[in-house]
Structure 1
Amino acid sequence: MTDIATSRTRTWFRTIAIAEAISWAGLLIAMIFKWVVQADPHSGIQGGVPIMGPIHGGVFVAYVVTCLSVCSKFGWSAKTTALALASSIPPLFTYVFEVLADKRGLLGKSSATS
C-alpha cells in the first residue's frame, strides 16, 4: 500500500475509533440522565437516549466494518483484530486501542515519523 493510502486508512481508522468512543460516552451520559438524574425514570421521558442510541449504533457498526477492512491492510494478526473488535465493548476502549496500536506501529507510519 502506498504511503498516501496508508495515511488515509490510518486517519480513517483513528477518526472512527475516536468517534466510537465519544458516541459511547454520549450514550452513557444520556442513560445517566434517563435513569439517575430524572426524578421518575419510568415517566416516559427518554432524555437523549433516542438520539444517542442510533448515533452510537451507526458509529459502532462503522467501527466494526472499518476494523475488518483495515486489518489486512495493516497486517494485523487474528489476535490484534480480535482485540480491536473487543475494544468496542467497554466504553472508551476504542480510543485506548487506537493510541496503543499507534504507539506500537500497528497503524502504519505516522506522518510525524515520515
Structure 2
Amino acid sequence: MLVTFRLMAILEGISYLLLFGLGMPLKYLAQIPEPNIYIGYAHGFLFIAFVVLAAVFCYEKKWGLRRFVIFFIASLLPFGTFYVDQKYLGKVAL
C-alpha cells in the first residue's frame, strides 16, 4: 500500500506541474487547447485517486484527521505531494 501511495503522490505532483507548466501556457499563450484537455483528465483522475488513497492510508495507519488534512492541502499546492512523500511517506515503515 505504501509503494502505491508514494507512486500516486509522485504521479499526481507531476501531472499538476504538467497541467500548469505545459497545458495552460499552450492553451492561453499558443491557443492550442488539446493537450490541456488530456493532461487535465489525467490530473483529475490522479488527484481523486491520491485523495482516496490518502484517506485509506490514514485510516489504516490510524493517523488522525490532521494528517489527512495536511495531505489534502498538499495535493492542492504545486510541489505539495513531493513534500508529503519526503516528509511523511519516506519515513513510514512497511
Q: TM-score, normalization: structure 1? A: 0.74
Larger relative helix fraction: 2
Which structure: larger Rg? 1
Counterpart of 2:27 in structure 1 is: 34
Query: Structure 1 CA distance, aligned partners of 2:64 and 2:48?
Result: 21
User: Within 5 A, what are the aligned runs for 1:7-86?
Assistant: 9-28=1-20, 29-36=22-29, 38=30, 41=31, 45-86=32-73
Identity %: 25
Cα deviation, 1:31-63, whole Å, max 9, x if unaligned, reads 012223x1xx4xxx3141011010000000100
One-letter amino acid of the structure 2 residue matched with residue 80 of structure 1? R
> Could you give the per-residue CA deviations for residues 16-39 of structure 1, whole angstroms, max 9, x where no partner exists?
000100111111111012223x1x
SS at match of 2:60: coil
Give the Cα–Cα distance (whole angstroms) in 1 for the partners of residues 82 and 44 of structure 2: 17
Distance (whole Å) between structure 2 residues aligned to residue 58 and residue 97 of structure 1: 19
Which whole-Å deviations, capped at 9, do the CAs of 1:55-96 have from their partners, x for residues lacking one? 000000100110111102122121111001111101221111
Q: Aligned partners of 2:73 and 2:3: how far apart in 1?
A: 20
TM-score (norm 2): 0.89
Runs of 4 or more, structure 1, over 3 Å off, are none
What amino acid is the match of 1:30? G
Structure 1: runs of 5 or more not aligned: 1-8
Count, aligned residues: 93
- Asked if 1:109 corresponds to 2:81, the answer is no
Counterpart amino acid of 1:74? Answer: K
